C-alpha cells in the first residue's frame, strides 16, 4: 500500500483498538468452504412451501425441484440449462420461475409493442384474444406476455417479498445475488410502476 493509505490504516487501527475489521475485510467473500448445503436447501424449501400454500403452482415440479430452479436461477443458468438438469422442458422451468416470482429482464425485453399499455390492459382484465387483437400479436405470443405481466404483478403485490427471502438465504450463505438485484433495479420495478394505481391491493401480510 502507498504511504497515505498506510497512514490511514494506522489511524483506523488506533481508533478501533484491534484488527478485527481489517481481518474481516481481508477475508474473501463468497467462500463456500463452511456452507451447509443441506441447510440452504431447507431454508429455500421453506420459502417455496409457503409460496405453495399461498399460490396455485402450475407445474408438477416438487419442492426439491423448485429449490433447484431457485438455486440455478441465481447462479445465472438459463431456462434451457435448468430444464436439462431437471429432465423437463424449458417452458416448464419458465412457468416454475413465474410461480416463484423469479423474473428476468429478458422476459419482456424483446417486446416490439407498447408493453406498458399491454400491462394496463392485462391488469384491467382484457382477455388473451383481446390483447392479441389490440396489440397485433398472435394469441400464443399474447398469452406468453400475459404470463410475464401477471407474474410481475404478483411479485409487486407482495413487494417482491419472496424473491427477497430467496436472496437473503443465498446472501447469508455467501452466494451472490447481484444478478437479480440488477434486474429489479433496471427492469422489473420500473416496468410495473405504471400499474400501481390499478394494482393497489398490495399485500404486506406475512
In a domain, 50, yes or no: yes
In a domain, 148, yes or no: yes
In a domain, 125, yes or no: yes
Share of the chain above pLDDT 70, in %: 67
In a domain, 76, yes or no: yes
pLDDT for the residue 184:
53
Number of domains in the chain: 1
Please report how many Cα atoms fall inside a 13 Å half-sphere around the Cα of residue 201, on the Cβ side: 3
In a domain, 18, yes or no: no
pLDDT digits (tens, 9 = 90+) for 20-68: 433 333 344 444 445 788 999 999 999 999 999 999 999 999 999 999 9
Please report how many Cα atoms fall inside a 13 Å half-sphere around the Cα of residue 131, on the Cβ side: 26
pLDDT for the residue 161:
95
Q: Taking a C-beta distance cutoff of 8 angstroms, is the pair 79, 94 a contact? A: yes
Cα distance between residue 56 and residue 79, in whole Å: 21
- Structural domain boundaries, residue 167: 37-103+110-195
Cα distance between residue 12 and residue 8, in whole Å: 6
CB-based contacts of 128: which residues, under 8 Å, 6+ apart? 139, 142, 143, 146
In a domain, 180, yes or no: yes
In a domain, 167, yes or no: yes
Q: Which three cell numbers stand for residue 57?
A: 403452482
Quick one: average pLDDT of 157-182? 79
In a domain, 97, yes or no: yes
Amino acid at each position: 500500500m502507498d504511504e497515505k493509505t498506510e497512514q490511514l490504516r494506522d489511524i483506523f487501527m488506533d481508533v478501533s483498538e484491534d484488527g478485527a475489521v481489517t481481518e474481516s475485510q481481508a477475508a474473501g467473500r463468497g467462500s463456500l468452504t463452511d456452507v451447509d448445503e443441506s441447510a440452504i436447501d431447507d431454508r429455500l424449501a421453506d420459502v417455496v412451501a409457503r409460496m405453495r400454500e399461498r399460490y396455485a403452482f402450475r407445474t408438477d415440479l416438487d419442492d426439491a425441484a423448485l429449490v433447484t430452479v431457485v438455486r440455478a436461477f441465481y447462479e445465472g443458468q438459463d431456462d434451457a440449462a435448468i430444464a436439462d438438469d431437471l429432465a423437463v422442458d424449458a417452458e416448464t422451468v419458465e412457468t416454475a420461475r413465474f410461480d416463484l416470482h423469479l423474473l428476468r429482464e429478458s422476459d419482456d425485453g424483446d417486446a416490439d409493442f407498447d408493453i406498458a399499455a399491454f400491462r394496463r390492459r392485462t391488469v384491467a382484465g382484457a382477455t388473451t384474444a383481446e390483447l392479441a387483437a389490440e396489440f397485433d400479436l398472435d394469441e400464443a405470443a399474447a398469452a406468453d406476455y400475459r404470463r410475464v405481466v401477471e407474474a410481475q404483478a404478483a411479485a409487486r403485490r407482495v413487494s417482491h417479498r419472496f424473491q427477497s427471502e430467496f436472496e437473503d438465504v443465498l446472501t447469508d450463505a455467501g452466494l451472490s445475488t447481484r444478478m437479480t438485484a440488477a434486474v429489479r433495479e433496471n427492469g422489473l420495478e420500473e416496468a410495473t410502476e405504471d400499474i400501481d394505481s390499478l394494482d393497489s391491493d398490495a399485500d404486506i401480510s406475512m
